[in-house]
């Protein structure tokens, strides 16, 4: 009986550690790759003839940063939903969900800073 409880505790702890580590790595890497994706899609639309501004004026928000933050939030919501509903790792999915929602603002700030430099 105690071995089963110990396995559950280890499993929950491992899910927690992996959830935090993967969330941090994803949050650090997503602004760069998301920004490059948005630039490439924008270039494709500009080749067709549309004009899309990704950088705002000083003192205003950056539309590109809003787009990347929205993509980040949608990706996190989809990943956590699939993890919670389709696997047995419920805690892992919940950690990804809550940290992702909190980190969306940080992704916006990172992309907005990256745009200006």
- Give the mean model confidence (pLDDT) for residues 10-37: 85
pLDDT reported for residue 73: 93
Q: Is the residue at 15 inside a domain? A: no
Q: Is the residue at 74 inside a domain? A: yes
Report the distance separating Cα 39 and Cα 36, nearest Å: 5
Q: Is the residue at 46 inside a domain? A: no
- As for how many domains the chain has, the answer is 1
Q: Is the residue at 75 inside a domain? A: yes
Q: Is the residue at 95 inside a domain? A: yes
Which residues are CB-neighbours of 101 under 8 A, at least 6 positions away?
73, 76
Q: Is the residue at 87 inside a domain? A: yes
Contact 115, 65 (CB under 8 A): yes
Using a pLDDT cut of 90, give the percent of the chain over it. 13
pLDDT band at residue 86 under the 50/70/90 scheme: confident
Q: Which domain holds residue 100?
A: 64-117
Q: Is the residue at 113 inside a domain? A: yes
Contact 23, 103 (CB under 8 A): yes
pLDDT reported for residue 75: 92
- Give the mean model confidence (pLDDT) for residues 83-106: 87
Q: Is the residue at 115 inside a domain? A: yes
pLDDT reported for residue 59: 76
pLDDT reported for residue 57: 76
């Amino acid at each position: 009986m105690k071995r089963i409880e110990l396995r559950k505790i280890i499993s929950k702890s491992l899910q927690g550690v992996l959830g935090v580590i993967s969330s941090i790595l994803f949050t650090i890497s997503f602004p760069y790759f998301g920004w490059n994706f948005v630039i490439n899609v924008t270039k494709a639309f500009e080749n067709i003839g549309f004009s899309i501004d990704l950088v705002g004026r000083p003192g205003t928000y950056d539309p590109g940063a809003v787009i990347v933050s929205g993509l980040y939030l949608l990706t996190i919501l989809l990943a956590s939903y699939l993890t919670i509903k389709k696997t047995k790792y419920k805690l892992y999915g919940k950690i990804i969900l809550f940290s992702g929602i909190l980190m969306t603002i940080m992704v916006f700030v990172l992309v907005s800073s990256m745009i200006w430099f």
